[in-house]
Structure 1
Amino acid sequence: MDIEAFIQRFAAGLDELEGLAPAAARARYDALCAGLAPHDPAGLRVEDTRLGGVAVRRFLPDGARPGRVLFVHGGGFTIGSIRSHHGVAASLAAHLDREVISVDYRLAPEANYAMMLADCRAVAETIAPLAMVGDSAGGRLVMDLAASCAHAPPLGLIYPPVGGLDASTLGPDAPLLSRDDVLSIGHSCPTALPVAAAAQPPGLTLHVLSVEHDPLTAPLEAAIEHWRDAGASVDYRCAPGMVHGALHAHALLPEMHSAWQAFCQALKGSL
C-alpha cells in the first residue's frame, strides 16, 4: 500500500462516522483501524480484564522479559479503544518483548479529561510500568501522567499534541488531520490541552515519533528543543511522507514500518 491509498481508505472511513451517535461512531472506527492492522505476532497471548478497576487488554508474548509497559491509545479523546489500537499494542509487545497493558479509558463527551487521566493513573499505579507509551491523544495523557510521577519511567510519544496549541504554533493542514481538527479538541475536551507549553519536559528519557505531514509536528519539534535544553534525553524521528494515523497501517507502509521499528528498538534499549 502507498500513502495515497491509505489516505483515501482512511478518509473514506472517517467520513462514514459523520452524524453517528458516539457508540456507533466508535464501533465503526474500531473496525476501520482493525482492517489495517496485521495479524497478531506468533506466540502472543491476549486477554481482556480489569486492573485498578479499569478495563484493559493485556498483550503477553511467549517468554516475555519481566516488567510491563503501559499503552494509551489515541482518537482525539472521543473515539479509539483497546480494539482500534489492538494492532499497535500487539506490535509494541512483540518489539519490546514485554507485556503491554492497553488502557480502555473513558471518552468524551461522557467523561472529562480528569476522568480519562484518572483511569490511566489507576492502571499505572497497579502495574508500576517500565515505560509508558501514548499515541496521539494517548501521548497527551501519558505526558500528564508522567508529570505527576516522582520518577517517571521512559516515555514513548507518538505524534502527541503538546501544550500551547493555537493558530500561530500549528503546522499547515495535512490529510486526515487539519488545523481545525486539532483546535476542535478545545470543544470536545476543553481541559485536555493546557493553554501554554510546559516549561519542563514530561520525563528525563523520551522517545518521540512524528510524521512529516501533520499540523502537530511543528509544535512538537519546538517542544523537543525545549525538552533537550532542559536536560531531557530525547530520541526523535519523523517518518517521511507519512500522515497522522498512519501508525495503524505500519505493516503496510514501508516508511511508517521503518520508523516504527526504529522507535520500538530505541525504546527497548531504555528498559
Structure 2
Amino acid sequence: MNIDTFIQRFATGLDELGAFTPAAARPHYDALCAVFAPADPPDMAISDDGMAGVAVRRFTPRACLPGRVLFVHGGGFTIGSVRSHHGIAASLAEQLGREVISVDYRLVPEVDYASMLDDCQSVSEAIAPVAWVGDSAGGRLVMDLAYHCAAPPALGLIYPPVGGLDASTLGPDAPLLSRNDVLSIARSCPAALPGAAESQPPGPHSVVLSVEHDPLTPALEAAIQRWRDAGAVVDYRCASGMVHGALHAHALLPEMQNAWQDFCQALKRHLSPPRRHS
C-alpha cells in the first residue's frame, strides 16, 4: 500500500464518524483501525484483564524478557481503545520482547482529563513498568504521568501534542489531521494541553517518533530541542512522507514500518531492569 491509498481509505472512515456522538463513534473507529492492523504475532498470548479497577489488554510474547511496558492509546481523548490500537500494542510487545499492558482508560465527555490520567496512573502503579509508551493523545498522557513522577521510566512518545496548542504553534494542515482538528481537541479537553510550552523534559530518557506531515510536528521538534538543552537524552526520528495516524498501517507502509522498527529498537536499548518492590 502507498501513503495516498492509506490516506484516502482512512479519511473516508473518519468522515463517516462525523454522524455519530463520541460514544457511538467508538466501535466504528475500532473497526476502521483494525482494517490496517497486522495479524497477531505468532506465539503471543493476548488477553483482556483488569488492574486496579481499570480494563487492560495484555500482550505477552512467548519468549518474554523481564519488565512490563505500559501502552497508552491515542484518539483525541474522545475515541480510541485497546481494540483500535491492538495492532500497535501487539507489535510493540513483539519488538521489545516484553509484556505490554494496554490501558483502556475512560474518555471525554464521560470523564475529565484528571480521571483519564488516574486510570493510567493506577495501572502503572500496579505493574511498575520499565517504560511508558503513548501515541498522540496517549503520548500526552504519558508525558503528564512523567511530570508527576520523581523517577519516570524510559518514555516512548509517538507524535504527542505538546505545549499550549493554538494557531501560532501549529504547522500547516495535513491529511487526516488539520489545524482545526487539533484546535477542536484542545477545546474539548483543555486540561490536557497546558498553556505554556514545556521547558523541562518529561524524563531523562525519551524516544520520540513524529511524521513529516502533521501540524503537531513543529511544536514537538521545538520541545525536543528544549529538552536536549536541559540535559535530557532524546532519541528522535521523523518518518518521511507519513501522516498522523499512519502508525495503524505500519505493516503496510514501508517508510512507517522502518521508522517504527527504529523507534522500538531505540526504546529497547533504553530499557532498564525492572524495579523491585520494597
- TM-score, L = length of structure 1: 0.99
* Aligned: 1:264 with 2:264: yes
Alpha-carbon deviation of 1:52? 1.1
State the alpha-carbon separation in 1 of the partners of residues 22 and 179 from structure 2: 22
Q: Is the 8 A contact 2:113 2:191 kept in 1?
A: yes
Residue number in structure 2 paired with 1:136 = 136
* Aligned: 1:188 with 2:192: no
State the alpha-carbon separation in 1 of the partners of residues 108 and 11 from structure 2: 22
Alpha-carbon deviation of 1:168? 1.1
Alpha-carbon deviation of 1:151? 0.5
Residue number in structure 2 paired with 1:214 = 214
Q: Is the 8 A contact 1:185 1:192 kept in 2?
A: no
* Aligned: 1:80 with 2:84: no
Query: What's the secondary structure of 2:89's corresponding residue?
Result: helix
State the alpha-carbon separation in 1 of the partners of residues 245 and 198 from structure 2: 25
Q: Is the 8 A contact 2:135 2:157 kept in 1?
A: yes
Residue number in structure 1 paired with 2:159 = 159
Within 5 Å, give how 1:22-171 maps onto structure 2.
22-171=22-171
Counting matched residue pairs gives: 271
* Aligned: 1:239 with 2:200: no
Query: What's the secondary structure of 1:40's corresponding residue?
Result: coil
What letter corresponds to residue 184 of structure 1 in structure 2?
A: S
State the alpha-carbon separation in 1 of the partners of residues 147 and 43 from structure 2: 35
1:44-86 per-residue CA deviation (whole Å, 9 max, x = no partner) reads 1001010111000000000201110000000000000000000
Alpha-carbon deviation of 1:227? 0.2
State the alpha-carbon separation in 2 of the partners of residues 31 and 79 from structure 1: 12
Greater shift after overlay, 16-25 or 115-124? Answer: 16-25
Query: What's the secondary structure of 2:177's corresponding residue?
Result: coil
Query: What's the secondary structure of 2:101's corresponding residue?
Result: strand
Q: Is the 8 A contact 2:107 2:116 kept in 1?
A: yes
In structure 2, the CA distance between the partners of 1:107 and 1:222, relative to structure 1 (3 Å rule), is: same
Runs of at least 5 residues in structure 2 that lack an aligned partner in the other structure: 272-278
Greater shift after overlay, 183-192 or 204-213? Answer: 183-192
Superposed structure 1 runs of 4+ greater than 4 Å apart? none
State the alpha-carbon separation in 2 of the partners of residues 217 and 2 from structure 1: 21
State the alpha-carbon separation in 2 of the partners of residues 58 and 269 from structure 1: 22
Greater shift after overlay, 65-74 or 162-171? Answer: 162-171
1:76-113 per-residue CA deviation (whole Å, 9 max, x = no partner) reads 00000000000000000000000000000000011110
Runs of at least 5 residues in structure 1 that lack an aligned partner in the other structure: none
Alpha-carbon deviation of 1:165? 1.7
Alpha-carbon deviation of 1:238? 0.2
Q: Is the 8 A contact 2:165 2:186 kept in 1?
A: no
State the alpha-carbon separation in 2 of the partners of residues 270 and 190 from structure 1: 32
State the alpha-carbon separation in 1 of the partners of residues 22 and 217 from structure 2: 28
1:195-231 per-residue CA deviation (whole Å, 9 max, x = no partner) reads 1112210000000000000000000000000000000
Alpha-carbon deviation of 1:190? 1.9
Query: What's the secondary structure of 2:191's corresponding residue?
Result: coil
* Aligned: 1:229 with 2:229: yes
Q: Is the 8 A contact 1:171 1:218 kept in 2?
A: yes
Q: Is the 8 A contact 1:176 1:243 kept in 2?
A: yes
Alpha-carbon deviation of 1:6? 0.2
State the alpha-carbon separation in 2 of the partners of residues 106 and 188 from structure 1: 15
State the alpha-carbon separation in 2 of the partners of residues 247 and 92 from structure 1: 11
Alpha-carbon deviation of 1:164? 2.0
Alpha-carbon deviation of 1:163? 1.3
Alpha-carbon deviation of 1:186? 2.4
Alpha-carbon deviation of 1:166? 1.4
Q: Is the 8 A contact 1:82 1:103 kept in 2?
A: yes
1:133-156 per-residue CA deviation (whole Å, 9 max, x = no partner) reads 000000000000011111010100
State the alpha-carbon separation in 1 of the partners of residues 164 and 189 from structure 2: 15
What letter corresponds to residue 3 of structure 1 in structure 2?
A: I
1:116-140 per-residue CA deviation (whole Å, 9 max, x = no partner) reads 0000000001001000000000000
Residue number in structure 2 paired with 1:248 = 248
